[in-house]
Structure formats: structure tokens, C-alpha cells
A and B are shown apart, each in its own frame.
Chain A
């Protein structure tokens, strides 16, 4: 797996955009970037993934830099329901090992 690095925690005001960074400088050309979140003690939930282009779905947007060494998950209007730990992973295409790391704990301030 490409090693990913995320800040341990971030704060965001309610209603504002939350921008969560992830560094994956060792990523290979065919390795996707996935984002998951874990609310309290529940099982992690898939958010979005991408390879090269920016992606958007009903939950979030994913911006991947042109050199693919980093990405940013954007929650456009953070709410208290977005309080969670967010994980960025980049699984190696040949091993099928999905390594999660410690993620970023997002705090949304009312």
C-alpha cells in the first residue's frame, strides 16, 4: 500500500466546508485513493474514491493533485452528523491489503 499521512485532528465550524488533507506521496500510477469515515464505534463507511480526476458524489468531493501525491476530501457544509474519524487509504493493486492507519478526527463546532 502507498503510505498515507493525515493530520490527527481538525476543527470545522458548522455549515462551513471541511477540507481534510491526505498525503500519499508513494502512490503508484494505478492505485486508487479511497476515503472512509467512522462515526463513533460503528463500522467504517465508504465515502468516495478516485484515481486521477476530481470526483463528487452526494456525500463529498475528492480533489486529487495532478502529481497524485496528495488529495483533499471536501465536505461542503459540515454538520454535527459529520463528526467522525476520516480515513484515507491507497491500497496496492497487487496485494489486496486495505491498510487504514489512524485517520483524522473531525470536530464540528456548533
Chain B
């Protein structure tokens, strides 16, 4: 079991470029989500998904797109990167559909936008 795998671990972009942060889990979890964490701050929820084909917005969704075509994968797309999106991004997944299980986090993807 690899758990939650995020790629890439580090990425540098120029303003206006696009990219996709990948997140995969091998635990057959229904729930997956993306967070961003700015320096010295807590985690802020970007988007989440409760199953394949279902996504919803979190606290800070602007500038990000997601899709969930399979149970395993939940990619996060930045269509036109801005310096304000410089952050560490964490993907998380959760097994049970009701609120009795914990979130499992990936190791994070550190993104710098110049």
C-alpha cells in the first residue's frame, strides 16, 4: 500500500503557465480533497470529491479545476498560474463515506510561481 501519492514534489512555474498536480490513492477511498498551505498558515480546502464523477468547491476554489474520472485519481489543474498560488499543496483521502474515519494525507507538492 503506497497510500496517497502526490506528484510532482517540487515545481516551478512562470506566471500564466498551466500545470496539473497529480494525486493517486490505492486504498479504494471514496473521498478525496485538495488543500493549500501558505507559509506559516493553516490548511485551506480547495476542492473535494465524494466519489467518481462528483466534485465540489471548498474554501478557496478560484483558479483551480478538478475532475474525478476514477476512484483512484484526483488531479488539480492550474489553468493560468499566478504568484499568489505559490504554496504547498496537500492531497487527502478518506475511506468511509460517513464521518467516522480519518483523512490520509500525501507528502505535499511544493509549487513556486514566478
Interface residues of A (CB under 8 A from B): 31-32, 34, 36, 41-46, 49, 85, 87, 91, 93, 96-103
Chain B residue, CB-CB nearest to A87: B42
Tell me whether A32 and B107 are in contact in the complex, defined as CB-CB below 8 angstroms, given that A98-B45, A99-B45 are known contacts. Answer: no
* CB atoms of A44 and B90 under 8 A apart: yes
Given A43-B108, A87-B42, check contact A97 B58 (CB 8 Å).
yes
Which B residue sits closest to A95, measured CB to CB?
Answer: B56
* Count of A-B contacts judged by CB separation below 8 Å: 58
- Say yes or no: A102-B102 contact (C-beta < 8 A), given A41-B88, A44-B90, A96-B48: no
Q: Does B105 contact A (CB under 8 A)?
A: yes
Contact (Cβ within 8 A) A42 B108: yes
In the A-B complex, the 6 residue pairs with the smallest Cβ-Cβ separation, listed nearest first, are A43-B105, A46-B102, A102-B42, A100-B43, A100-B42, A44-B105
Asked if A36 meets B103 with Cβ closer than 8 Å, knowing A97-B48, A99-B59, the reply is yes
Question: Which residues from A are CB-within-8-Å of B92?
Answer: 43-44, 98
B90-A91 in contact (CB<8A): no
Residue contact B108 to A31, C-beta cutoff 8 Å: no
B binding-site residues for A, Cβ under 8 Å: 4, 31, 33, 35, 41-45, 48, 50, 56, 58-59, 88, 90, 92, 98-100, 102-108
CB pair A44 B103 closer than 8 Å: yes
Q: In the complex, are the beta carbons of B48 and A32 less than 8 A apart?
A: no
What's the minimum C-beta distance from B57 to chain A, rounded to whole angstroms?
9
Judge whether A32 and B58 touch: CB under 8 Å. Answer: no
Q: Are B90 and A43 in contact (CB under 8 A)?
A: yes
Chain A, Cβ-Cβ closest to B98:
A93
Partner of A46, one of B59, B98, B103, B107: B103
Known: A41-B108, A91-B99. 5 other contacts (CB 8 A): A43-B90, A49-B100, A97-B45, A98-B103, A99-B59
Chain B residue contacts of A96, Cβ below 8 A:
31, 48, 50, 56
Q: Most chain-A CB neighbours within 10 Å: which of B33, B48, B92, B102?
A: B102
* Docked pose: A15 CA to B100 CA in angstroms: 31
**Chain B residue with the shortest CB-CB distance to A43:** B105
